[in-house]
Amino acid sequence: MLLDNLKTLLLLPAAIRGIVAASTAASSSTACNNSPSLCNIAYNDISYLGAHDSPFVRDAATSYSISGNQYYNSTVQLSAGVRLLTAQVQRATNNALHVCHSSCDLLDAGTLSSWLSEVRTWIDANPNDVVTILIVNGAAATVTELERQYQKAGIDSTLAYTPNSNHAAQQAWPTLQTLIDSGTRLVNFVDYITPDPAVPWIMEEFRYIFENNYDVSTLDGFSCAANRPATAVNNLSKALANGVMPLMNHFVYTDAGLGIQSPNAANASYTNSRASLGSAATTCTQEYGRAPAFILVDFFNVGPAIATVDRLNNVTNPVGRKRVSTASMTQDSAATKATRKWTLGFCCLAVLLVCGVS
Ligand SMILES: *[C@@H]1O[C@H](CO)[C@@H](O)[C@H](O)[C@H]1NC(C)=O
Ligand SMILES: *[C@@H]1O[C@H](CO)[C@@H](O)[C@H](O)[C@H]1NC(C)=O
Ligand SMILES: *[C@@H]1O[C@H](CO)[C@@H](O)[C@H](O)[C@H]1NC(C)=O
Ligand SMILES: *[C@@H]1O[C@H](CO)[C@@H](O)[C@H](O)[C@H]1NC(C)=O
């Protein structure tokens, strides 16, 4: 009797372990954007977490710039599950296209091509993922100028997705698996641009996407109403026509004085919480009759922003994401870390000294 029980105990777990191991291996090898359940869903029927102003990082390298919208760079954002990156493009003093926040005097994160290279490096290393870039064209750059920056980063139509030829909103987008199989895993939009038939993969945002208001400066100031393009203001049936995808902005500005608006970091854990982001997503899903395709946040790691997107996508067991701290990153927190290291070092030294003496 005892022996039988022992046998059962020893044998059963092994069998279960085998099954679990097999299913884990199968699912992780077929996950698309962190989940096997998303592979066969059309691109436009999925919700993507977006890092607003992705290259503008508030860390030691920028002296914790109050213009920074994120605490971690685009590489870390993508590895943590972000799949939409937005960036403002402005002209630096030499007229070159840089990613800058409002003005290159305020926060200059380098050339557009070097940021695109960073994104391409990540995409190359992650062959089962589809990423979207949305450029805010503060420089009024032409398609040709932007294409040159993409080319410098090694990106052309072999990696970029090319839509149907008439530059119109399209009802039928490929599934993630189709995009992955054809290698076209980067989808590119620019907010204001005159499309160029020679470079169809640089898409004019508002033919495919509408947005709610992005200029919100109170914690409860969000609305699902269509705000851009101008032709669809406050008219959801018009905004949603022809399969146009909703982009839900959900971040707050704070007045930094001198007329400068800066991202509200102090309230990020509230803004990205289930109570704020989660309930806005639910409300907008009801109003739109579909989930927002893109949800754009500041400080993506603070608060459970990605949990809201997983819920909309019915994803319960995401795979392959790298965890990132959920804390805010400030000069104070960096200083605390340094103090902690120093304290630890001091304690070790003290222990060594005491042990050596005794
Ligand atoms: C992004 O940040 C991580 C750590 O925060 C760092 O290790 C990595 O080098 C950075 N990558 C780029 C391309 O700057
Ligand atoms: C909204 O747009 C639709 C379709 O273009 C139009 O028929 C309708 O009159 C508009 N509604 C309002 C309130 O403007
Ligand atoms: C927003 O931040 C301010 C300043 O830190 C704080 O006093 C307030 O309680 C916060 N509100 C919420 C809802 O998190
Ligand atoms: C998630 O489930 C809802 C409700 O059944 C459905 O409408 C939606 O299309 C699903 N989303 C995805 C990405 O599977």
* Distance from residue 64's CA to the centre of ligand 1 (Å): 15
From the CB of 253, is ligand 3 less than 6 Å away?
A: no
Percentage, residues of the chain above pLDDT 70: 83
Average pLDDT of every residue of the chain:
87
pLDDT of residue 343: 40
Q: Give per-residue pLDDT as tens, 138-182.
A: 999 999 999 999 999 999 999 999 998 666 677 789 999 999 999
Please give the pLDDT value at position 261.
87
Residue pLDDT, tens place only, 204-214: 999 999 999 99
| CA trace torsion 251, 257, 260, 262 (10° rounding) | -30
**Taking 70 as the threshold, does the pLDDT of residue 283 lie above it?**
yes
pLDDT in tens, 111-124: 999 999 999 999 99
Burial of 87 (0-12, 13-18, 19+ CB in 10 A): buried
Pocket test for ligand 3, best of 267, 270, 271, 274 (most atoms within 8 A of CB): 267
List the residue whose alpha carbon is closest to atom 2 of ligand 4: 314
- Residue of 38, 62, 63, 74 lying closest to 300 (CA atoms): 74
- Confidence grade of residue 346 (pLDDT, cut at 50, 70, 90): very low
- Looking at residue 168, its pLDDT comes to 67
* Residue 329 in this model has a pLDDT that exceeds 60: yes
Q: Round to whole Å and give the CA distance between 209 and 168.
A: 11
- Judge whether residue 348 has pLDDT over 70: no
- pLDDT at 305 exceeding the cut of 70: yes
Whether residue 234 has its Cβ less than 6 Å from ligand 2: no
- Selected residue with higher pLDDT from 305 and 26: 305
Atom of ligand 3 nearest to the CA of 219: 13
The pLDDT confidence band at residue 335, using thresholds 50, 70 and 90, is low
At 284 the pLDDT is 98
* pLDDT tier, 30 (very low <50, low <70, confident <90, very high otherwise): confident
* 293, 46 contact by CB (below 8 A): yes
Pocket residue to mutate for ligand 3, from 269, 270, 328, most atoms within 8 A of Cβ: 270
The more confident residue out of 346 and 103 is 103
Q: At what angle do helices 305-312 and 279-288 cross, to 10 degrees?
A: 30
Residue entry with tokens 């213009």: 67
Kindly state the average pLDDT of the residues 293-305.
Answer: 98
Ligand 4 site-directed mutation target among 43, 314, 316, most atoms within 8 Å of CB = 314
235 pocket-lining for ligand 2 (C-beta < 6 Å): yes
Cβ of 286 less than 6 Å from ligand 4: no
What pLDDT was estimated at residue 219? 97
pLDDT at residue 256, as a whole number: 81
In the predicted structure, residue 50 carries a pLDDT above the cut 60: yes
Look at residue 352 in the predicted model and tell me its pLDDT.
Answer: 42
Q: Give CA–CA dist 134/50, Å, rounded.
A: 10
Report how far residue 164's alpha carbon sits from residue 355's, in angstroms, rounded to the nearest whole number: 74
Q: Which residue has the higher pLDDT, 354 or 141?
A: 141
